[in-house]
């Protein structure tokens, strides 16, 4: 995301859709996003598909603030999107829980 | 030339004004390696570097292409420098642009995209192209006809792999190294592969006739057709290839052809601009052409009448060129390479140095040949010195011989020591004694010196050194030697990667201690283990192994089940596939099914438009391409139990028809197979368990190469095999004991598996576990109950079996987590 793009907040519905410690995939506008509900609290959102071979990141195991792709164990930092194992980084999106308990993600408009 | 001529300083601090322009034509292994060497000598400060490459990629390790063709590696795995590397080093890469003219007067190169680039210094690294012999029916106008391929680039690999899908038989023209690499790559595409060589034997460049014959024999045993002395005169077929015709009039039917008959230097560009070209671009000992501003390097260069097609000379040339062009060492001289090389051809190791056949009347030849094992060794001696050696199939003496060859050191009294380790324990050359420039990793061109410097420079574990130098990261055949050198170079400082002994990498305990800690602290979940034993660091790579261990210790009922600590397969009870869909394998105990089951499977396949229905190696039926959201419906419609074909767990019991129908059967393999699978189904373990029961020693169900197998022998008895494997690793199982009844088979195999569950490391298959513990020890514990734990092992196994919950029907009826089987959740905007 470059800073010149305009951003918009989208609600993805109640937090209860995601079990603690796991991720789920969402389609919102034209974006495919994986949202993770972290055991240490809070949420993280990334692009849904692994840049290596398109693996579903929402199905990955999360730990130490990173997610491991279930296909070939490429590993990405959830906060920055930087690759910890593998060559390609991923996009990450600001994500929070609002007062109603809904997931809110910030994506390019 | 030194950095003294630095001029202006740019905003980013680097010098610019007097930087000269360096243009490199060719982005293959030679061009890119030379640039790396130049950068390593501060060349980034001296030159603005532009690299032209006619492939649209960064540069990659061509030696590993057969791995890409076979699907073993991904194309991205073989990149040496991805596109980012060029940007990071301020190199302008013009990928996809082919230089078609060099104007030496104007110091300008022109590319076919209309662009041009001025240079002060020019490096020609145009490499080679495949040589296509004059054969009727190969070309149509611009290039090879459909179905006919060359083997040189990543794009060639994808084209071959794609075309092979629709073929049943492929012919490779060329029985040299390149042809055999292509054949190896093709094998994994399910086509029958034939190698066609015009010369009298395979690998004529490296092997003599006898060596070639032994290699051919080894390849035939792998199922490859080998045709030597077969000169191809025509490729037949109109729209598509139908076969090859040979000079003697015979014919070989095939539906695709890979031409791998050697390479020819790309020297036309250099010739057109007036550089001296014979077989290739002629260079001096500094890798310069007759034009002092133009260098040539790699396969397109001819030095002292030699044109090299192997990678090791290229590394040496690149170093000299870089020393000279950067002014680091103007006296650096390349004096030719002594040809000693280590190769792996279709998994067969080959080392060759010096001459391959005697040249003088008084050259002495020692020869050893053992065709059955595919082993062949010759050593050629002249005036008490080693002048040539060939080792095929057994290269254990290669370091020793290389040293004798390179240094011309005197030979041992007993000449047999050149070929064999006599008596024990003998001296492989201690790595300390190897010369620093001995090349260890041939894939990445890393020498002993490079590895040693890296280790003594502070990279104190084998993994760290491999990562930093790339040694051992190609085909992997030199890993043991890399380890040895790192150990030697680090002296006492070597940090053994301590995690090598941990059960999982992120929790610092070996298995036995970890189990003790978990019990003592009453830890019931992966989170609790990380908090108590790993400082709260929840290593994701450790979660799956911990979950398995916790379930083995506590059983599912007493566990704080954390679904997020499971791998996706264990969250949704199916095996994730490359496209994110899943495979569904219903349990079919002992491989015995019924018309009713088959009908239900067929109905499900129709209803869900299952793209692939596959009979598995484990005598089951695999429905592939099921979406996650369809899984519960598919399970309900099947009405069958899970086959557990996705977890680290007991998988299946193959059986033969035993006494029921087979006229040779001596034991009731079907009943026993069904009983075993019904009893142990879904049993979780440190790695998967594949079993089989054979009704007689003909072993039709392959029970002797299973993790656990039972084989009926005369007299109504059963031999129990453990530790067998027939996957990536092949091992015949060991006979643990022979028993008299089905009940005893169930008891002893159950006890063995429980002991394995308690003592094996995470992902340690029985083929590694059994030799590690030792067969005698296992027998003492499991069969003779030396330690008095048999009753406890039996009880633990029984408890686990009693606690089994069939996951498919249970969770189809009641999903365990929110959106457990949901498709991506669509949000309307």
**What six digits make up the tokens of B694?**
């054979």
A15 touches chain B (CB under 8 A): no
- Whether residue B427 is predicted with pLDDT greater than 50 in this model: the reply is no
> B403 near B418, Cβ under 8 Å?
no
Q: Measured between beta carbons, which residues in chain A are less than 8 angstroms from residue B542? A: 63
The DSSP result for B52-114, as a single string, is EESSSS-EE-GGGHHHHHHTSS-GGGGEEE-HHHHHHTT-EEEET--EEEEETTTTEEEETTS
Helix (H) or strand (E) holding B516: helix B511-520
- Whether residue B680 is predicted with pLDDT greater than 90 in this model: the reply is yes
Would you report the helix, strand and coil content of chain B in percent, each value rounded to 5? 35, 25, 40
- Whether residue B11 is predicted with pLDDT greater than 70 in this model: the reply is no
- Name the CA dihedral angle for B334, B338, B344, B346, rounded to a multiple of 10 degrees: 100
pLDDT at B559: 72
Could you tell me whether strands A23-28 and B92-95 are parallel, antiparallel, or unpaired per DSSP bridges? unpaired
- Interchain contact, A10 vs B74, CB within 8 Å: no
pTM: 0.54
Q: Which of B39, B52, B222, B54 is nearest to B124 (CA)?
A: B52
Least confident range of B85-94, B548-557, B791-800 = B548-557
pLDDT at B1: 39
| Nearest beta carbon to residue B568 from set A59, A63, A66 | A59
Mean pLDDT of B58-68: 78
- Interchain contact, B825 vs A26, CB within 8 Å: yes
Residue B721: which residues within 8 A CB-CB, separation 6 or more?
A: B703, B704, B706, B708, B709, B710, B711, B732, B733, B734, B735, B736
Distance of residue B134 Cα from the nearest chain A Cα, in angstroms: 40
Question: pLDDT, tens digit, for every residue of B315-344?
Answer: 899 999 999 999 999 999 999 887 777 777
Mean pLDDT of chain B: 88
- Whether residue B714 is predicted with pLDDT greater than 60 in this model: the reply is yes
Mean pLDDT of B364-391: 90
pLDDT band at A4 (very low <50, low <70, confident <90, very high): low
Rounded CA-CA distance B201/B212 in Å is 5
Distance of residue B414 Cα from the nearest chain A Cα, in angstroms: 51
B309 touches chain A (CB under 8 A): no
**Which residue is listed with tokens 């390019």?**
A108
| Nearest beta carbon to residue A25 from set B540, B818, B824 | B824
Distance of residue A17 Cα from the nearest chain B Cα, in angstroms: 6
* Dihedral sign (CA B267, B271, B272, B274): positive
pLDDT at B7: 39
**What six digits make up the tokens of B170?**
């492929």
A84 touches chain B (CB under 8 A): no
pLDDT at B3: 39
| Nearest beta carbon to residue B824 from set A16, A32, A39 | A32
* Dihedral sign (CA B333, B24, B81, A93): positive
Least confident range of B54-58, B158-162, B678-682 = B54-58
| Nearest beta carbon to residue A26 from set B563, B579, B824 | B824
- Of all residues in chain B, the one with the smallest CA distance to A21 is B564
Least confident range of B212-216, B272-276, B725-729 = B725-729
pLDDT at B279: 92
Helix (H) or strand (E) holding B512: helix B511-520
Distance of residue B626 Cα from the nearest chain A Cα, in angstroms: 15
- CA B90 to the chain's CA centroid: 33
- Best B580, B821, B829 member to test A by mutation, with max A CBs in 10 Å, is B580
pLDDT band at A5 (very low <50, low <70, confident <90, very high): low
Question: pLDDT, tens digit, for every residue of A68-79?
Answer: 999 988 899 999
**Which residue is listed with tokens 């005893």?**
B744
- Whether residue B68 is predicted with pLDDT greater than 90 in this model: the reply is no
- Interchain contact, A12 vs B817, CB within 8 Å: no
Q: In the A/B pair of chains, how many CB contacts fall below 8 A?
A: 101
* Higher pLDDT among residues A56 and B310, named by residue: A56
Q: Measured between beta carbons, which residues in chain B are less than 8 angstroms from residue A107? A: none
Which B-chain residues 795-824 have CB contacts (< 8 A) with chain A?
Answer: 817-820, 822-824
Question: pLDDT, tens digit, for every residue of B430-484?
Answer: 677 778 888 888 777 788 888 988 887 777 677 778 877 878 766 556 777 888 8
| Nearest beta carbon to residue B578 from set A10, A25, A53 | A53
Question: pLDDT, tens digit, for every residue of B211-248?
Answer: 999 999 988 988 899 999 999 999 998 888 999 999 99
pLDDT at B428: 47
pLDDT at B566: 95
Mean pLDDT of B551-577: 89
Mean pLDDT of B678-691: 96
B578 touches chain A (CB under 8 A): yes
Question: pLDDT, tens digit, for every residue of B336-374?
Answer: 887 777 777 777 888 888 888 888 889 999 989 888 888
> B643 near B611, Cβ under 8 Å?
no
Mean pLDDT of B538-561: 87
Peptide bond before residue B425 is cis, with ω within 30 degrees of 0 = yes
- Of all residues in chain B, the one with the smallest CA distance to A72 is B578
Question: pLDDT, tens digit, for every residue of B639-670?
Answer: 999 999 999 999 999 999 988 888 888 899 99
Q: Measured between beta carbons, which residues in chain B are less than 8 angstroms from residue A54? A: 579-580
pLDDT band at B400 (very low <50, low <70, confident <90, very high): confident
Q: How many other β-carbons are positioned within 10 Å of the β-carbon of residue A6?
A: 6
């Amino acid at each position: 995301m470059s800073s010149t793009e305009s951003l918009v907040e989208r609600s993805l519905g109640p937090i209860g859709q995601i079990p603690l410690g796991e991720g789920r995939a969402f389609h919102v506008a034209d974006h495919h996003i994986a949202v993770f509900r972290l055991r240490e609290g809070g949420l993280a959102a990334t692009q849904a598909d692994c840049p290596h071979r398109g693996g579903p990141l929402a199905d990955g195991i999360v730990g130490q603030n990173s997610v491991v792709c279930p296909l070939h164990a490429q590993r990405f930092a959830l906060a920055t999107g930087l690759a910890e194992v593998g060559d390609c980084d991923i996009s990450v999106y600001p994500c929070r829980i609002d007062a109603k308990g809904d997931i809110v993600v910030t994506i390019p408009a | 030339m030194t950095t003294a001529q630095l001029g202006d300083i740019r905003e980013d601090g680097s010098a610019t004004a007097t930087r000269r322009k360096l243009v490199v034509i060719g982005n293959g292994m030679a061009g890119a390696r030379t640039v790396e060497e130049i950068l390593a000598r501060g060349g980034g400060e001296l030159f603005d570097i532009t690299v032209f490459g006619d492939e649209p990629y960064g540069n990659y390790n061509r030696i590993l292409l057969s791995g890409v063709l076979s699907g073993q590696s991904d194309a991205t795995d073989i990149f040496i420098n991805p596109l980012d590397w060029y940007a990071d080093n301020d190199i302008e890469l013009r990928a996809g642009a082919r230089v078609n003219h060099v104007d030496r007067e104007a110091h300008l190169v022109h590319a076919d995209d209309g662009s041009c680039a001025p240079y002060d210094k020019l490096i020609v690294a145009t490499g080679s192209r495949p040589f296509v012999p004059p054969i009727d029916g190969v070309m149509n106008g611009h290039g090879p006809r459909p179905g006919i391929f060359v083997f040189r680039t990543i794009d060639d690999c994808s084209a071959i792999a794609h075309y092979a899908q629709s073929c049943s038989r492929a012919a490779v023209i060329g029985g040299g190294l390149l042809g055999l690499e292509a054949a190896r790559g093709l094998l994994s595409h399910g086509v029958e592969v034939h190698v066609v060589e015009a010369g009298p034997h395979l690998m004529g460049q490296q092997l003599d006739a006898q060596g070639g014959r032994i290699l051919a024999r080894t390849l035939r045993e792998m199922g490859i057709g080998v045709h030597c002395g077969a000169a191809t005169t025509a490729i037949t077929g109109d729209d598509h290839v139908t076969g090859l015709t040979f000079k003697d009039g015979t014919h070989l039917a095939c539906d695709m052809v890979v031409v791998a008959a050697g390479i020819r230097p790309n020297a036309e560009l250099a010739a057109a601009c007036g550089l001296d070209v014979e077989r290739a671009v002629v260079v001096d000992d500094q890798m310069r052409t007759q034009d002092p501003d133009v260098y040539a390097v790699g396969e397109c260069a001819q030095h002292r009448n030699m044109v090299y097609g192997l990678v090791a000379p290229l590394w040496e040339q690149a170093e000299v060129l870089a020393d000279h062009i950067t002014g680091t060492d103007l006296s650096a001289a390349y004096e030719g390479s002594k040809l000693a090389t280590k190769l792996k051809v279709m998994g067969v190791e080959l080392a060759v140095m010096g001459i391959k056949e005697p040249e003088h009347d008084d050259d002495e030849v020692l020869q050893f040949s053992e065709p059955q094992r595919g082993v062949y060794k010759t050593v050629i001696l002249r005036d008490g010195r080693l002048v040539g050696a060939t080792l095929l199939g057994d290269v254990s003496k290669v370091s020793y011989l290389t040293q004798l060859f390179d240094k011309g050191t005197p030979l041992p009294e007993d000449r047999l020591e050149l070929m064999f380790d006599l008596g024990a324990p003998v001296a492989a050359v201690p790595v300390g004694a190897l010369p620093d420039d001995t090349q260890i990793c041939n894939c990445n061109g890393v020498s002993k010196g490079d590895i040693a410097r890296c280790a003594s420079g502070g990279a104190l574990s084998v993994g760290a050194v491999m990562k930093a130098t790339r040694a051992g990261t190609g085909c992997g055949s030199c890993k043991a030697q890399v380890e040895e050198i790192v150990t030697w170079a680090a002296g006492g400082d070597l940090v053994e990667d301590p995690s090598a002994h941990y059960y999982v990498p992120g929790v610092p305990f070996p298995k036995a201690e970890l189990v003790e800690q978990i019990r003592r602290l009453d830890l019931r979940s992966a989170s609790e283990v990380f908090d108590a034993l790993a400082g709260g660091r929840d290593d994701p790579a450790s979660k799956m192994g911990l979950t398995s261990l916790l379930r083995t210790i506590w059983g599912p009922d007493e566990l704080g089940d954390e679904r997020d600590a499971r791998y996706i397969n264990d969250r949704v009870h199916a095996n994730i596939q490359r496209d994110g869909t899943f495979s569904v394998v219903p349990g079919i105990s002992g491989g015995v099914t019924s018309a009713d089951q088959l009908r239900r499977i067929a109905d499900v396949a129709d209803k869900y438009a299952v793209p692939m229905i596959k009979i598995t190696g484990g005598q089951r039926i695999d429905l592939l391409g099921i979406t996650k959201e369809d899984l519960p419906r598919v399970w309900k419609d099947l009405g069958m139990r899970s086959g557990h074909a996705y977890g680290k767990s007991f998988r299946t019991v193959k059986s033969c028809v035993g006494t029921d129908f087979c006229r040779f059967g001596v034991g009731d393999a079907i009943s026993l197979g069904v009983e075993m699978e019904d009893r142990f189904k879904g049993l979780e373990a440190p790695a998967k368990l594949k079993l089989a029961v054979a009704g007689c020693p003909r072993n039709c169900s392959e029970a002797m190469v299973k993790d656990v197998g039972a084989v009926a022998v005369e007299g109504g008895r059963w031999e129990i095999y453990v530790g067998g494997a027939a996957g990536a690793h092949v091992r015949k199982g060991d006979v643990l004991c022979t028993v008299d009844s089905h009940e005893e088979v169930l008891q002893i195999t159950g006890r063995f598996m429980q002991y394995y569950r308690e003592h094996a490391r995470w992902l340690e298959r029985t083929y590694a576990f059994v030799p590690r513990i030792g067969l005698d020890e296992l027998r003492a514990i499991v069969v003779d109950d030396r330690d008095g734990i048999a009753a406890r092992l039996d009880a633990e196994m029984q408890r686990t079996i009693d606690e089994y919950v069939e996951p498919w029907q249970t969770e189809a009826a009641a999903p365990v987590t929110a959106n457990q089987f949901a498709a991506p959740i669509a949000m309307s905007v």
